[in-house]
Amino acid sequence: MAGSVRAASILLVLLLAGLPARAFEAKILDSVVSVLPLWPGYEEGHMQGKAPTDEPEGTAVAIRAGGYLATALHIVDKAEAITVRLADGRMRPAELVGRDRATDLAVLKIAHDLPVPPFGPEPALGAPVCTLGNPLGLDLSVTCGVVSGLRRSGVGFNPIEDFIQTDAVVNPGASGGALLDGQGRLVGLLSAIFTKESDADIGVNFAVSLAMVRRVAGDLIELGRVRWAAPGFALIELRRSERQALVGMRVLDVEPDGAAERAGLQVGDIVTAVAGRPARSVEGAMASVYLHRPGESLTIELMRDGTPRTLALTLPR
């Protein structure tokens, strides 16, 4: 009965937010679980005795058939054991398959095959989105808002960031939850809350893009670790005086006989886009590189002596 009431409440929120009923009919609720890590010195999933900055519980989303779940690493990194609570309340032990500290992502596996939610494209700026997570250990809950920003990097949470920013309310425990677009498709994994001195939500929240989640989770499932490829170049921001006429990042260094040199990149080039994404920050440009696996190729758009060029860079295996 409790599960039916919860499902009906979530359906109502989705409908009020403008999401079609089929977003719920796609069983997105069954694709998301609450994560109960057993931390040293604490009771499983209990908030008593925890510091205000600690995550009481967390959330995970089915990312691949076979019981594979994507979650935020900071939820489970210190755990001695991990249990997940399914949407209907049943409990399942979970195995930590792999972790990646650079993106704060982890993959869990349970002996229960959950439906994988439909994957959506990158949402548009201002598009409606909803989150489905386990805030403050209160069980799965929905909040809705809009996309406030795309391809956020250099925010400061992780070494590698490719965030979707949203004003949908996110609180501790919702990390690892689903960010859904207007069609009820998964577009990101909830990751971080931007605050000043507390965990209170101020409407600046971040979800790892689905592209980065799939990139990292795929490696963790198949290899147990993430393989990052060195592109062979370093960038630096343009001087303020240069920004009156130029947009992009200057090539500071090119590794001898590296991937960038073989592609034809030169020190002093102004990189304007990487893999089709505008190069508006060093971190953003490098995130565009890291979305690609070793052996894959990507385009580098640049200006050299006032002339636009496009190079094809193949990442080393």
Written as six digits, the tokens of 21 are 């009923």
The pLDDT, as a whole number, for residue 138 is 82
Asked if residue 219 has pLDDT above 70, the reply is yes
What is residue 287's three-state secondary structure?
Answer: helix
Q: Cβ–Cβ contacts within 10 Å for residue 269, how many?
A: 23
Asked if residue 23 has pLDDT above 50, the reply is no
- Closest by CA to 251, choosing from 189, 194, 301, is 301
Q: Which CATH architecture best describes the domain 233-314?
A: Roll (2.30)
Distance from C-alpha of 118 to C-alpha of 56, rounded to nearest angstrom: 28
Written as six digits, the tokens of 70 are 């994507």
Structure confidence at residue 52 as a pLDDT band (50, 70, 90): very low
pLDDT tens digit sequence for 255-290: 999 999 999 999 999 999 999 999 999 999 999 999
Instruction: Tell me the sheet residues that pair with 61.
Output: 32, 70
User: If 0-12 CB within 10 Å is exposed, 13-18 middle and 19+ buried, where does residue 203 land?
Assistant: middle
Poorest-pLDDT segment among 17-21, 152-156, 231-235: 17-21
Higher pLDDT residue, 25 or 138? 138
Higher pLDDT residue, 62 or 204? 62
Asked if residue 137 has pLDDT above 90, the reply is no
Asked if residue 6 has pLDDT above 60, the reply is no
- Closest by CA to 189, choosing from 177, 202, 198, 199, is 177
Which residues are annotated as catalytic? Answer: 74, 104, 175
What is residue 242's three-state secondary structure?
Answer: helix
Q: Kindly report, as residue ranges, where domains of CATH 2.30.42.10 are found in the chain.
A: 233-314
Distance from C-alpha of 262 to C-alpha of 265, rounded to nearest angstrom: 8
Distance from C-alpha of 291 to C-alpha of 311, rounded to nearest angstrom: 18
Contact 251, 271 (CB under 8 A): yes
Owner of token pair 């779940």: 69
Distance from C-alpha of 288 to C-alpha of 56, rounded to nearest angstrom: 33
CATH code 3.40.50.2300 for 2-223:
no
Distance from C-alpha of 314 to C-alpha of 125, rounded to nearest angstrom: 30
Query: What percent of the chain stands above pLDDT 70?
Result: 84
Task: Count Cα neighbours of 204 within 13 Å in the Cβ-side half-sphere.
Answer: 6
Over residues 188-212, the mean pLDDT reads 80
User: If 0-12 CB within 10 Å is exposed, 13-18 middle and 19+ buried, where does residue 194 land?
Assistant: middle
The pLDDT, as a whole number, for residue 124 is 96
The pLDDT, as a whole number, for residue 12 is 44
All residues at 6 or more sequence positions from 191 whose CB lies less than 8 Å from its CB, including other chains? 72, 104, 157, 158, 163, 175, 176, 206, 207, 208
Task: Compute the chain's Rg from CA coordinates.
Answer: 21
Q: Which string of b and e fits 229-263 if b means at least 16 CB within 10 Å?
A: bebbbbbeebeeeeeeeeebbbbeebeeebbbbeb
Q: Kindly report, as residue ranges, where domains of CATH 2.40.10.120 are found in the chain.
A: 2-223
Contact 211, 122 (CB under 8 A): yes
CA distances from 95 to 28, 65, 82, 106, 107 (A): 22, 15, 7, 11, 9
The pLDDT, as a whole number, for residue 308 is 96
Distance from C-alpha of 89 to C-alpha of 242, rounded to nearest angstrom: 58
Task: Say how many Å lie between the first and final Cα of the chain, rounded.
Answer: 53
